[in-house]
A and B are shown apart, each in its own frame.
Chain A
């Protein structure tokens, strides 16, 4: 049952991820990206990591993608008004993506796809909120706090950039 669900979710994830790239309409791309996040959350649930699944939905699908959609709607891009990309940027993007593919193939070609044996000390509750919280606030306390500081810096930076200078008028 679980492996059938896995293949179904993987199929959906790959399909929607490909549609993100191939859609001519930016709004469709954003909506397919939201679908991709949902399928990834499904994968997290299959891995018994409910907390990460829920947070993935709340943060990515619920907040960040709303802002994406917001900006794309404001720009109101249409497929017919898409600007032409130059040959140089096409060559550059193909090179970059090709290099990434080479790296991924090199990294994954020796992966053993055999079945994983569950060890006796395997804890199926490892992805639950309580376990995650305990680990996050004991073993990984320093990285956690550093990430918080990073977020704070980013927030202050965003406020600084968006702030109206003294005497500046609202332009819209």
Chain B
């Protein structure tokens, strides 16, 4: 029992570190990918291949003037970015990063928190993510910030519904709310029975909603600079702005992990039951494959950002309520009918 607790404590620290490290280098990757897609080099001055750029950015952020507008609500102004970062980091607690390591006859699951309502936990934290933006936007006491906050709130509410309904189809197939059970359910066909092949529509709806919940282009209306100056973070400077920007990358990492788990097999990889290795080696390869999937989806987030233009606000609402929500409901009904007819 005690060794499990020690393992969990170390594991949670490692996950925390990896989340932050990936988010740090996502900022560099974003600019590199942007450079690649626009046929230019991107940042390459700080260190070899620009690898020290995130460090340079952080130093710049820390040395900027710390500024709080005189008419702002001081406590909530500070609480805003803190909440954004807090909710971004909380989700990874239930993500299963791998199967389990068997050491000395004891099984250690590579998952921070083994609760049987993992999907609901993720969904609950995602729905709280908007508070950081709303509180910060309102506390700035600036019309542009307020508009950004209000946009974020209505966008979050609208896309949450379709997101939840698309997950329901997965829950019906798996018969469990446990994220580890969802991954285990995709282990068939030598590790290739991924949900994306059974639920392509749910997958597309979920990914679109994940973009909207992360406030990524083409859904970055809350910080739409052509209309709202800087959106909800207009009044922010220094590391408080840094936390807002950083929480976006953390959210991207976590969303990529959740997309991989729900639809792309999590730590399952093709041919995993054919390899002549021990359980532990398979687990480590699986965890590595899982990180590969996460990195691919982070790249996908960036790819879309530098390819698609931003939606207009009424188009955004129309897409959410008039296309994604009915499609998700139809998807749930079809899934139910198929499960009823085939009886599995």
Number of interface residues of B (CB under 8 A): 26
Asked if B115 and A50 make an inter-chain contact with CB atoms under 8 angstroms apart, the answer reads: yes
The 6 A-B pairs with the shortest beta carbon distances in the complex, nearest first, are: A62-B127, A54-B120, A57-B124, A70-B153, A58-B124, A50-B117
Determine if A128 is an interface residue (Cβ-Cβ < 8 Å).
yes
Q: With A61-B128, A62-B124 as given contacts, are A129 and B134 in contact (CB-CB < 8 Å)?
A: no
Query: For residue B134, which residues in chain A have a CB less than 8 angstroms away from its CB?
Result: 66, 69-70, 73
Asked if B120 and A55 make an inter-chain contact with CB atoms under 8 angstroms apart, the answer reads: yes
Compute how far the CA of A107 lies from the CA of B180 in the bound complex, rounded to whole angstroms: 46
Asked if B117 and A129 make an inter-chain contact with CB atoms under 8 angstroms apart, the answer reads: yes
Asked if A63 and B117 make an inter-chain contact with CB atoms under 8 angstroms apart, the answer reads: no
Q: With A63-B127, A63-B160 as given contacts, are A70 and B154 in contact (CB-CB < 8 Å)?
A: yes
Q: With A58-B123, A58-B127, A73-B134 as given contacts, are A129 and B177 in contact (CB-CB < 8 Å)?
A: yes
Determine if A19 is an interface residue (Cβ-Cβ < 8 Å).
no
Asked if B124 and A63 make an inter-chain contact with CB atoms under 8 angstroms apart, the answer reads: no
Asked if B146 and A76 make an inter-chain contact with CB atoms under 8 angstroms apart, the answer reads: yes
The residue from A27, A51, A61 contacting B127, defined by CB atoms under 8 A apart:
A61
Chain A positions near chain B (C-beta within 8 angstroms): 27, 31, 34, 50-51, 54-55, 57-58, 61-63, 66-67, 69-70, 73-74, 76, 128-129
Asked if A54 and B127 make an inter-chain contact with CB atoms under 8 angstroms apart, the answer reads: no
Asked if B153 and A129 make an inter-chain contact with CB atoms under 8 angstroms apart, the answer reads: no
A111 to chain B, nearest CB (A): 31
Compute how far the CA of A61 lies from the CA of B83 in the bound complex, rounded to whole angstroms: 14
The residue from B73, B116, B130, B138 contacting A66, defined by CB atoms under 8 A apart:
B130
The residue from A50, A62, A76 contacting B116, defined by CB atoms under 8 A apart:
A50
Residue of B nearest to A27 (CB): B138
A39 to chain B, nearest CB (A): 15
Compute how far the CA of A66 lies from the CA of B121 in the bound complex, rounded to whole angstroms: 18
Query: For residue B169, which residues in chain A have a CB less than 8 angstroms away from its CB?
Result: none
Which positions 114-140 of chain B face chain A at CB distance < 8 Å?
115-117, 120-121, 123-124, 126-128, 130-131, 134-135, 138
Query: For residue B177, which residues in chain A have a CB less than 8 angstroms away from its CB?
Result: 129
Asked if A57 and B128 make an inter-chain contact with CB atoms under 8 angstroms apart, the answer reads: yes
